[in-house]
């Protein structure tokens, strides 16, 4: 059991605000080390990823893929008659799985004897939490794991728009969708709605999609999605949104006189740390310019008894990072293990259609760091599965290498199953392997992954 300080008896050794991926992991691990743990969650256990983010979104991606694969089936000898799609069936199946995961996460906390408070909690002091019911609870340590929340810019008519929180609950499949933003959330939903037969228009303030990803992959995705029918409006900020009597929406852009007509307007322009009204000022913790909680390398805030992990710190907004930070915090504070989280070579993926993935430095980043002392290897190929589908779309794999040492600095790819292939590749990049190590590996033929060891 964790020792109390200054002879004071706290109600708990750890109180976690937020039962998402990071908060649940920290709670479970701290409890396994003998700590008395409680967690408060105002909505549902599981957090953004499980309840209204990457998991249900990936299920929609899977569902939308059938449109393409059923069309391809005829070329493989299958007869598929009366192909129809029912949005409520897919939507309800996804929401049912969200219910399952909420139960699973709740059971995890229960099985580890973590007490749960299903209500909002705020910080009332360095060692004090106040629940929405008015009850105050003391804890030796407080962990903030409230995640992030979609940003809704201010413009006339913004109340007629939805975010990624609401998109999973649409009553019916819209015929026309306007998506504001061109980051990973925007591009993933653009691919989903396009595959399901909606007319999709992506509107972006700048002329760049997926900022931060390799430029060659971004260009390839743009070409492919335009060929699939997605329209783009670049350098076009929203001016206003107006709702018609029939429920449809007019989207006015910048100085353009004619609006875009839509049934749904999805705003996907980023996510902000969810710290509004959290009461951190009561413990002397000052938020950063984006509303984030500043922390040190161990996740500790300016208050020694308060820590934060995950998206709320605005370091890396990825679920696996939140999980690692939550575990490292619990192991260090309650398990006596000096553990840390490495933010080097974090793999990432965009489940667009087709998907792209990358790890390590992009070509642009490598040139900034190493100048001309890099080599770029690539493979531009037509995936085998596209041949019978009569699709000219081509995959592209890139390997960025330090010319002096032959060490692989980054690998980036676009094409079917790229995220699945990249995970193993990320291990090689993290381990510091060289181009020669890839060349010495026998190709697995026929596969798309073999292109990784055949690049020239």
pLDDT (0 to 100) of residue 91: 97
Contact between 148 and 311 under an 8 Å Cβ cutoff? The reply is yes
82, with CB counted inside 10 A (0-12, 13-18, 19+), is exposed
The DSSP-derived string for 366-425 is HHHHHTT-EEEEEEEE--HHHHHTT----EEEEEEEETTT-BEEEEEEESTTHHHHHHHH
Written as six digits, the tokens of 114 are 């973590």
Q: What is the pTM of this model?
A: 0.94
**Could you say which residues of the chain have pLDDT below 70?**
1-8
Q: How is residue 212 annotated by DSSP? A: T
Q: What's the pLDDT score for residue 280? A: 97
Task: Output the pLDDT for position 388.
Answer: 83
Nearest alpha-carbon partner for 366 in 416, 405, 395: 405
Q: What is the pLDDT of residue 48?
A: 85
Q: Is residue 278 within 8 Å of residue 114, measured between CB atoms?
A: no
Q: 158-269: same fold as 12-150+272-335?
A: yes
Helix (H/G/I), strand (E/B), else coil: 197: coil
CA 383, chain centre distance (Å): 26
Which tens digits make up the pLDDT trace of 299-334?
A: 999 999 999 999 999 999 999 999 999 999 999 999
Find how far residue 92's CA is from the centre of its chain.
22
Cis amide linkage into residue 73, ω under 30° from 0: no
Whole-number pLDDT of residue 163:
96
**Among 3.90.1640.30, 3.30.465.10, 2.60.420.10, 3.50.50.60, what is the CATH number of 12-150+272-335?**
3.50.50.60
Can you say whether the dihedral through the CA atoms of 275, 281, 287, 291 is positive or negative? positive
Structural domain boundaries in the chain: 12-150+272-335, 158-269, 348-453
Residues annotated as part of the active site: 445
Query: Where does 348-453 sit in CATH, by number?
Result: 3.30.390.30
Task: Name the CATH superfamily housing domain 158-269.
Answer: FAD/NAD(P)-binding domain (3.50.50.60)
Q: CA 409 to CA 431: how far, in whole Å?
A: 11
């Amino acid at each position: 059991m964790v020792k109390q300080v200054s002879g004071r008896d706290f109600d708990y050794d750890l109180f976690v605000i937020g039962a998402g991926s990071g908060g649940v992991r920290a709670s479970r691990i701290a409890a396994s080390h003998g700590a008395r743990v409680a967690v408060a969650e105002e909505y549902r256990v599981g957090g953004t990823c499980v309840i209204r983010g990457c998991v249900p979104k990936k299920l929609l991606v899977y569902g939308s893929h059938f449109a393409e694969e059923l069309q391809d089936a005829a070329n493989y000898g299958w007869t598929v008659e009366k192909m129809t799609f029912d949005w409520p069936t897919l939507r309800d199946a996804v929401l049912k799985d969200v219910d399952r995961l909420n139960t699973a996460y709740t059971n995890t906390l229960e099985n580890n004897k973590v007490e749960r408070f299903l209500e909002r909690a705020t910080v009332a002091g360095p060692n004090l939490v106040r629940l929405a019911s008015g009850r105050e609870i003391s804890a030796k340590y407080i962990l903030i794991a409230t995640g992030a929340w979609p940003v809704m810019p201010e413009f006339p008519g913004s109340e007629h728009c939805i975010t990624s929180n609401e998109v999973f609950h649409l009553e019916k499949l819209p015929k026309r969708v306007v998506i504001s933003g061109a980051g990973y959330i925007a591009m993933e939903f653009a691919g989903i709605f396009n595959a399901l037969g909606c007319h999709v228009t992506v509107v972006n303030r700048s002329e760049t999609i997926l900022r931060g990803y390799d430029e060659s992959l971004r260009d390839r995705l743009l070409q492919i999605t335009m060929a699939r029918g997605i329209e783009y409006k670049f350098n076009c900020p929203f001016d206003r949104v107006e709702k018609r009597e029939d429920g449809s929406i007019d989207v006015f852009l910048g100085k353009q006189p004619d609006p875009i007509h839509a049934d749904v307007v999805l705003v996907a322009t980023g996510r902000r740390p969810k710290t509004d009204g959290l009461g951190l000022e009561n413990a002397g913790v000052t938020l950063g310019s984006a509303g984030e909680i500043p922390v040190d390398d161990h996740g500790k805030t300016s208050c020694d008894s308060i820590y934060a992990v995950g998206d709320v710190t605005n370091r890396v907004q990825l679920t696996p990072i939140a999980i690692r930070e939550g575990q490292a915090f619990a192991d260090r504070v309650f398990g006596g293990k000096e553990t840390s989280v490495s933010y080097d070579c974090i793999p990432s993926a965009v489940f667009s259609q087709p998907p792209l993935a990358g790890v390590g430095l992009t070509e642009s980043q490598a040139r900034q760091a190493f100048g001309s002392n890099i080599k770029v290897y690539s493979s531009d190929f037509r995936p085998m599965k596209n041949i019978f589908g009569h699709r000219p779309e081509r995959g592209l794999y890139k390997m960025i290498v330090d010319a002096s040492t032959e060490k692989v600095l980054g690998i980036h790819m676009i094409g079917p199953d790229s995220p699945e292939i990249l995970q193993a590749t990320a291990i090689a990049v993290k381990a510091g392997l060289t181009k020669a190590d890839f060349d010495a590996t026998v190709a697995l033929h026929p596969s798309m992954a073999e292109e990784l060891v055949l690049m020239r």
